[in-house]
Structure 1
């Protein structure tokens, strides 16, 4: 931080603006949001810089562990008559040598058609639509779900002000679903 202040010749007015903004992040309860959106992806890059194969991805602010375990071909839990566009997410999990890792899992944690997340919105069933899918012996999986709506970062708090000041958009389709793959524990 000292180097940044010196290199950019930060003024007291700029320092006071930063301090006020940081206090506002806390008052708005947006520290987890700020850290997830602006910093965690860089930590993920550094942590996996020497990793072979697919790189990791952050879990996101609405990830909940221990979702229901489902077979390789399955549908994520949803309400009867769930609104949204049907989506088939399918593929194969492979080790860097090309073999399927036994017991590989694919965790799906996504919003519903209205952009709401189970366990964070009291009107949704507990695991709607979330699941831990165990790939078959060949590493294959076929998961039926709905296309999640873009993840929207709230614009009324400190993080929204930063996004606006940076000229970035508050929605991201990439951040609305977080499939990750992992070998069994």
Structure 2
């Protein structure tokens, strides 16, 4: 087809997809093309603006590495990650809500026994975390696998330190037969997402801050239940209502309780102040309707 113009180009592109064998891919690409073309028409996109957009996406790709995923940051800060998470994780009332995955998860994190100090040298005030994994009827979920990860007191994850020889502030744990779990870590603090790259410059141009409220990440799996990816947020944090990645849910906010030096929940004599966090997770059975 020749001599296409701004009124005919969209249908010409879609016609090229007519023989696609993958119906789902055809559905996605048809909608993508229509929305992209409608966007360009709506804002009357200039050639210079189009070139700047291409440069931005190219730089975003160049910023990605095995330690940093700039495209996830872009998706997070535009609210797309939260939208996709929400529409794919509808759960009955009473189940722990899901939230964004984030860019700092690591496959095959170190296995730890319950009660271990998973900080493994990460800087921060000591914190003892405990709780239960159960189902919506209150029944314990035995031996649930839990991955936990968090930033240190300076706001950095272990993978952001190229000089580290061992992972810190993350672990794979398994709940007891009665669904309970406990471990030692460090206090969660607010931190800015990496903002020295294209996503950071985008936020600055939009007049937005890069801060996330203090939180712990959890990924929980158990046979017969939907996998849960979520955070637990620290109550009182100044960024709970302006999270840079739109991930906060009221049901996920909990209190980190400060204690003076003394006996910790695991029996350790603490010479410095410490914190405790108690939080239970409620999993949704696989068979439950969304």
- Identify the match of residue 90 of structure 1 among 124, 130, 141: 130
- Identify the match of residue 115 of structure 2 among 73, 90, 102: 73
SS at match of 1:68: coil
1:126 aligns with 2:166: yes
How far apart, CA to CA, are the structure 2 residues paired with 1:22 and 1:125? 32
Specify the alignment match of 2:59 in structure 1.
24
Cα distance change on mapping 1:139 and 1:32 into 2, 3 Å: same
1:180 aligns with 2:209: no
Q: Indicate the structure whose relative CO is greater, using CA pairs within 8 Å and at least 6 residues apart.
A: 1
Which runs of at least 4 in structure 1 moved beyond 6 Å after TM superposition? none
- C-alpha offsets along residues 92-150 of structure 1, whole Å, 9 cap, x if unaligned? 21112221112112211112233333344233342212112212223222221112443
- C-alpha offsets along residues 50-100 of structure 1, whole Å, 9 cap, x if unaligned? x33223233321111222233343321412xx5321222222211122211
Which protein is bigger by CA-based radius of gyration? 2
The equivalences for 1:142-181 within 5 A come to: 142-174=182-214, 177-181=216-220
How far apart, CA to CA, are the structure 1 residues paired with 2:159 and 2:195? 22
Q: What root-mean-square deviation, in Å, do the aligned CA atoms of Structure 1 and Structure 2 show?
A: 2.7
1:139 aligns with 2:194: no
Q: Is the 8 A contact 1:152 1:171 kept in 2?
A: yes
SS at match of 2:208: coil
Q: Is the 8 A contact 2:158 2:167 kept in 1?
A: yes
How far apart, CA to CA, are the structure 2 residues paired with 1:155 and 1:68? 28
Specify the alignment match of 1:64 in structure 2.
106
Specify the alignment match of 1:34 in structure 2.
74
**TM-score normalized by structure 2?**
0.54
**TM-score normalized by structure 1?**
0.79
Show structure 2 runs of 5+ residues with no match: 1-35, 65-69, 225-290
Count residues with an aligned counterpart.
Answer: 181
The offset of 1:160, in angstroms, is: 0.7
SS at match of 1:145: strand
Specify the alignment match of 1:46 in structure 2.
87
How far apart, CA to CA, are the structure 2 residues paired with 1:77 and 1:24? 33
